[in-house]
């Protein structure tokens, strides 16, 4: 047998936080392309809106590989999360990324903080995550505006990277539905013409559902919006039922703004709640021998979107696209059940449409 080489700690390379990110950018972006960048951008949006309580944010493309991210009406203290890795961070949402990721993967990263009169009160400049010049010594700064100018590093992103304004615009608009109190601005150029788009959906997920309702062949009924604090989490739900069954039901689910395309326990709670609500009506009116409820039947005509905000989400699977917090299922189900049952009792015409699909012997289920 050959002797195994023994290493001392002095022989193990020590990497700075920015070097860790630059060596494995795929761990932080998923994909090192425009799709990966947009996921990073949405993560930064979520970070800013939850931490700084702002109601206005803009993203402007200025040059190939360069852009400006601006946040105004900041209501909380800005914490330095761009110059170092926070080992004490307790974020458990895979979607929320700190600004140091963008800093490390940018050839240039400049941050300016302004007071309410737009006077610059703090500024720094970095190159590939390394401090170049500017103010130092503050970890927490009170300000009204934040502006970040950055140029993506071609060593990381490659020479073929391009912004793809159509994709960015679409993704920002989809994200904007999750924050009904916030205005999202996207600025870019087409040829020599300036384009300035503002997304503001004051009804949140209900506005998103309106688009799906209009895409249907017929009408819809039991249009419902829920935006409530339930126990230690907050949930926003918008749902309705179509007049006609479609091949691909619309059901979108999010956790802290992170898209869970495999759904999970928050969706389980929603579907159980809809089922419970209909069942409660059957039981009250002695219809259980004539009608048989099923989740499959509930989903057939359902159009719905749900976003839950919670402190410690738990995800299953290696890509973390499915929520696994089983303790939230019954609280969501009970709340949704009560809301739907009340609507069922108030609308005889819509109730007939909904329960007909559960009639025993009906071929629709």
Domains and CATH numbers, the chain: 13-199 (3.30.565.10), 205-356 (3.30.230.10)
Residue 356: per-residue pLDDT: 82
Confidence at residue 320, expressed as pLDDT on a 0 to 100 scale: 76
How many other CB atoms are there within 10 angstroms of residue 283's CB atom? 10
| Number of H-type helices and E-type strands within the chain | 11, 17
Residue-wise pLDDT tens for the chain (365 aa)?
A: 455 556 555 554 577 888 889 999 988 888 899 999 999 999 999 988 988 889 999 999 999 999 999 999 999 999 888 987 765 555 556 666 779 999 999 999 999 999 999 999 999 999 999 999 999 888 899 999 999 999 999 999 999 899 999 999 999 999 999 999 999 999 999 888 999 999 999 999 999 999 988 887 678 899 999 999 998 999 999 999 988 766 677 899 999 999 999 999 999 999 999 999 999 999 998 888 888 888 888 888 899 999 999 988 999 876 778 999 999 999 999 999 999 999 999 988 888 888 887 877 654 44
Per-residue pLDDT at 249:
77
CA dihedral 323→324→328→333, nearest 10 degrees, is: 70
Residue 135, both tokens: 């103010």
At residue 9, the pLDDT reads 53
Q: Distances from the Cα of 249 to the Cαs of 169, 222, 272, 304, in angstroms?
A: 24, 16, 17, 9
Are 107 and 153 within 8 A, CB to CB?
Answer: yes
Strands 250-255 and 302-309: parallel
DSSP secondary structure string for all residues of 165-176: HHHHHHHHHHHH
Q: Are 205 and 305 in contact (CB under 8 A)?
A: yes
Residue with tokens 């307790």: 90
Q: Is 25 left (phi over 0), alpha (psi -120 to 50) or beta?
A: alpha
The residue whose two tokens read 């870019």 is 188
Give the pLDDT of residue 101.
93
pLDDT of residue 363: 47
In this structure, are residues 188 and 165 in contact, taking their beta carbons and an 8 Å threshold? yes
Distance CA 110, CA 114 (A): 13
Helix boundaries (H) for 183-328: 205-215, 265-284, 295-300
Residue entry with tokens 């949140």: 204
CB 312 within 8 A of CB 328: no
d(CA 273, CA 329): 9
Q: At 303, which helix (H) or strand (E)? A: strand 302-309
């Amino acid at each position: 047998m050959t002797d195994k080489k023994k290493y001392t700690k002095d022989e193990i390379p020590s990497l700075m936080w920015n070097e860790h990110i630059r060596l494995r950018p795929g761990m932080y972006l998923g994909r090192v392309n425009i799709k990966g960048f947009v996921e990073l951008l949405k993560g930064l949006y979520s970070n800013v809106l939850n931490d700084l309580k702002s109601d206005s944010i803009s993203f402007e493309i200025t040059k190939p590989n360069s852009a400006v991210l601006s946040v105004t009406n900041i209501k909380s203290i800005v914490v330095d999360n761009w110059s170092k890795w926070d080992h004490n961070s307790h974020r458990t949402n895979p979607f929320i990324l700190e600004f140091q990721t963008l800093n490390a993967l940018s050839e240039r990263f400049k941050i300016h903080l302004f007071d309410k009169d737009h006077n610059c009160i703090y500024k720094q400049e970095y190159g590939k995550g390394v401090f170049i010049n500017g103010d130092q010594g503050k970890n927490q700064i009170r300000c009204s505006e934040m502006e970040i100018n950055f140029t993506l590093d071609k060593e990381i992103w490659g020479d073929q990277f391009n912004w793809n304004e159509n994709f960015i615009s679409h993704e920002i608009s989809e994200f904007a539905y999750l924050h009904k109190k916030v205005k999202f601005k996207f600025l870019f150029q087409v040829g020599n013409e300036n384009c300035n788009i503002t997304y503001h959906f004051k009804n949140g997920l209900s506005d998103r559902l309106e688009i799906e309702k209009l895409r249907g062949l017929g009408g819809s009924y039991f249009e419902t919006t829920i935006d409530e604090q339930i126990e230690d989490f907050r949930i926003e739900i918008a749902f309705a039922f179509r007049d006609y069954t479609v091949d691909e039901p619309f059901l979108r689910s999010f956790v802290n703004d992170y898209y869970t395309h495999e759904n999970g326990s928050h969706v389980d709670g929603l579907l159980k709640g809809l089922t419970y609500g209909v069942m409660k009506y059957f039981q009250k009116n002695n219809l259980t021998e004539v009608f048989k409820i099923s989740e499959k039947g509930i989903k057939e005509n359902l159009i719905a979107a749900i976003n839950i905000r919670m402190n410690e989400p738990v995800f299953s699977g290696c890509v973390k696209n499915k929520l696994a917090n089983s303790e939230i299922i019954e609280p969501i189900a009970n709340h949704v059940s009560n809301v739907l049952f009340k609507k069922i009792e108030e609308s005889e015409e819509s109730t007939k449409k909904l329960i007909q699909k559960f009639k025993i012997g009906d071929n629709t289920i």
